[in-house]
Amino acid sequence: MADHSHGSPESTGVVARPGQGDVQKFQNPGLPPHRPRLADRDPRAEKRAERQVAILFLVSIIGTVLFFVGYFLIPLDETIETLRLQNLTLGLGTAFAMLGIGVGIVHWAKTLMPDHEVSEDRHEIRTEADRADAEKIINDIVEETGIKRRPLIRNTLLGAMLLAPLPAVFIFRDLGPLPGDALRHTYWDAGTRLARDPSGTPIKASDVTIGSAFHVIPEGLSDSEHYLEEKAKAVVLLMRLNPDSLNPSPGREDWGYQGIVAYSKICTHVGCPVALYEQQTHHLLCPCHQSTFDLTQECKVIFGPATRPLPQLPIAVDDEGYLIATSDFQEPVGPSFWERG
């Protein structure tokens, strides 16, 4: 017999009534006969269920006691172990206290309370008589206001209502300053020494061996009034490669120093710190969304969701042998924004 047969045409009544007075469908046999539970027939089972419920409530009482044991008898002594032990005791105490009550009540309902299913009729959500009454009431209300007959009142009210919310929008103007050119500048400037993050001690070119990498902040950053905001833009990764493996583009040949190069650590995707340096492949990897930048191609994106290379910080060495920036970044660091250009 084919399974793909066509059934009866859909009935088009407002309320779906499957199986009601339709010869193509089975008649609803009505509720199945009630099957008594063990506790309905056997007084011993009933007694047993009663005891089980009571035991569950006792478990709850024990749980509450356990909570107080943890609260008063486990002193916190600055070690994480006692904290964990207390957390475990409080948690298990609460869990038993709650589960004892919950499981007890549900067990009580399922074994001892009546389990006869009852049928109740649904009612129309809206009766036609109510609808007509409501319509009449609303018409009367509208009529009594006279808003239809007085367009002058209606139109001026509409105009007033449209304008009135505007202050509620504009009042939020002072949530923050306008961006201005804040995103185009960082703490770096010509002559700023490169310093270790977070200690702030300056780095000598001779400290940077081939293959090593430094997390860098500008020297003096900790004196900045807006430390975190400045740091969020200024953090830099410093690496030294064999100079032959770097391929600087025209105009950027002197941005490094003997294979030492510095790149912004802020991902050009959505701004996570690009903190992972793969020394062997010379790749920088952002742990948030896996954008991968190739150091040997001026941090061009070779994988992942970022589009732009990491901005390079031009560096040189000062008289005392310390690494310095020769200028600020030549482009905005971090994620793109509409005005970036």
Partner 1 sequence: MSSTTTQSTYQPKTNVGKITNYVDSRVGGSGIVKEFGRKIFPDHWTFMFGEVALYSFVILLLSGTFLTFFFDPSMAETHYEGSYIPLRGVEMSEAYATALNISFDVRGGLFMRQVHHWSALLFVAAVSVHMLRVFFTGAFRRPRELNWVVGCVLLILAMAAGFTGYSLPDDLLSGNGLRIIDGVIKAVPVVGTYISFFLFGGEFPGTVVIPRLYVLHILLIPAIILLMIVIHLFMVVTHKHTQFPGPGRTNDNVVGFPVGPVYAAKAGGFFFIVFGIIAAISAAFTINPIWNYGPYDPSPVSAGTQPDWYIGWVDGALRLMPGWIAGIPLEWNIPMPWGVNTLSLNVLLPALVPAGIVFTLMFAWPWIESWLTKDKREHHLLDRPRNAPFRTAVGVSGVVFYCVMWAAASSDLIATHFFVSLNDVTYWLRVLFFVGPIIGFMVAQRIALALQRKDREIALHGRETGRIVRLPHGEFIEVHEPLDEYKRYNLVNYESHSVLPAEADVNGHVTRTEKARGRLSRFFFEDRVAPVTPAELEAAHSHGHHDAIAEQHDKAAVSK
Q: Which is nearer to partner 1, 148 or 226 (CB)?
A: 226
Residues 229 to 288: which contact partner 1 by CB under 8 A? 229, 231-233, 235, 265-267, 269-273, 275-276, 287-288
**Cα separation, 273 vs 310, whole angstroms:** 11
Q: Cis omega before residue 179 (within 30°)?
A: no
256: region left, alpha or beta (phi > 0 left; psi from -120 to 50 alpha): beta
Of the candidate residues 52, 305, 316, 317, the single one contacting partner 1 (CB under 8 A): 305
CB 192 within 8 A of CB 325: yes
Residues 8 to 37: which contact partner 1 by CB under 8 A? 8, 10, 13-20, 23-26, 28-32
CB 193 within 8 A of CB 324: yes
Q: Does 325 bind partner 1 (CB under 8 A)?
A: no
Residues 110 to 129: which contact partner 1 by CB under 8 A? 110, 113-115, 117-122, 125
| Least distance in angstroms from the C-beta of 128 to partner 1 | 15
| Least distance in angstroms from the C-beta of 258 to partner 1 | 25
Stretch that binds partner 1, among 131-139, 150-158, 225-233, 318-326 (CB under 8 A): 225-233
Q: Which is nearer to partner 1, 130 or 140 (CB)?
A: 130
| Least distance in angstroms from the C-beta of 14 to partner 1 | 6
Stretch that binds partner 1, among 38-46, 134-142, 226-234, 320-328 (CB under 8 A): 226-234
Q: Which is nearer to partner 1, 270 or 317 (CB)?
A: 270
Written as six digits, the tokens of 205 are: 């070119």
Q: What angle do CA 23, 27, 31 make, to 5 degrees?
A: 170
Residues 193 to 212: which contact partner 1 by CB under 8 A? 197-198
Q: Which is nearer to partner 1, 32 or 251 (CB)?
A: 32
Longest dimension (CA), the chain: 102
**Cα separation, 221 vs 198, whole angstroms:** 10
Of the candidate residues 51, 55, 62, 91, the single one contacting partner 1 (CB under 8 A): 91
For 72, the enclosing helix (H) or strand (E) is helix 43-73
Residue type at position 244: D
CB 322 within 8 A of CB 204: yes
CA 210 to each of CA 76, 215, 240, 261, 285: distance values in angstroms, whole numbers, following the listed order:
49, 15, 5, 11, 19
Q: How many CA atoms lie within 13 A of 159 on its CB side?
A: 6
Residues 55 to 74: which contact partner 1 by CB under 8 A? 71
| Least distance in angstroms from the C-beta of 68 to partner 1 | 11
| Least distance in angstroms from the C-beta of 59 to partner 1 | 10
